[in-house]
Structure 1
């Protein structure tokens, strides 16, 4: 896998993680919504956030590619997007993301997810990317739909989230030859 790259995405920029991102990550992942759905593993201190950033910045395994999602104009952190579980033999991967509270409802996540998916299809030997979220996390369903994913089914009690409960999840996928979404009409 190529080293960290910047991916322009209209009003956003996907850029490699930096050590200086840790304070903003701490704020973003200690938000109550992120605590439940992003399951950061109990992140609660600046040292935890530094370790999280270091793991996201390290692409040496070839199994993930992650970015800090920042405002292209001001550079402030608005979220994270990560193509992970990259399986070169099967040609598939998964995608995960989160946004800071102030960025929610502004169309940030669909733009970031779409940009990361386009990068993955152009740069990796994958032709399928899955997005999975808890049934109760309806905002992630809207993100999946807007980012061009197709709903494929429900996974029963498939993942234990930050609330300690195993939730049913909804499975979405986007294929390399699917039509790209039109994010110009995002709301």
Structure 2
């Protein structure tokens, strides 16, 4: 599938970029260096421009093979990366996916994650024909709980397995209305 841009009201969702016109790599490295970000996002390390380039390339490849839709949540005026939102573990045959979102440390608390996630969810239901989107977070990640509630998810309880960090993993589900 080809990447799609989405108008998210105060923000817009676009593909991650690392080119002459727009380079998300510095903001990615800043975000992934943040201790709170590292606490909850364990499977990626973006310490160098090369690692950030690999991350941008990975996200493009995931779009291409219908594995994951991933967007930079960007400032309308400048295109600056404010966070990332995605629908991962896409199963277009069964109509399911899992939502993911993070916000750059300098942009937290502004509603960016909820706005971006809501736009990605609408895309998933309307354009991809999804029937269910899950969302998971560590129990201690209270910001993720707020985002899940604002996006309309229903808490279905803790998972039986712990999160990669060893904490209780909370699961939420959303179905189209």
Give, in whole Å, the separation in 1 of the partners of 2:174 and 2:100: 13
Give, in whole Å, the separation in 1 of the partners of 2:160 and 2:46: 27
Task: Name the SS of the counterpart of 1:89 in structure 2.
Answer: coil
The answer for unaligned runs of 5 or more in structure 2 is none
Question: Conserved in 1, the CA contact under 8 Å of 2:85 and 2:101?
Answer: yes
Deviation at 1:40, TM superposition (A): 4.0
The equivalent residue for 1:171 is 171
The equivalent residue for 2:109 is 105
User: Are residue 35 (structure 1) and residue 38 (structure 2) matched?
Assistant: yes
Most deviating of 142-151 and 85-94: 85-94
Give, in whole Å, the separation in 1 of the partners of 2:41 and 2:10: 24
Task: Name the SS of the counterpart of 1:167 in structure 2.
Answer: coil
Task: Name the SS of the counterpart of 1:158 in structure 2.
Answer: coil
The equivalent residue for 1:142 is 146
Question: Conserved in 2, the CA contact under 8 Å of 1:17 and 1:53?
Answer: yes
Question: Conserved in 2, the CA contact under 8 Å of 1:79 and 1:99?
Answer: yes
Matched length: 172
Give, in whole Å, the separation in 1 of the partners of 2:29 and 2:113: 19
Deviation at 1:159, TM superposition (A): 2.2
Partner of residue 65 from structure 2, selected from 61, 75, 98: 61
TM-score normalised by the chain length of structure 2:
0.92
Quote the RMSD (CA, aligned, Å). 1.2
Deviation at 1:30, TM superposition (A): 1.1
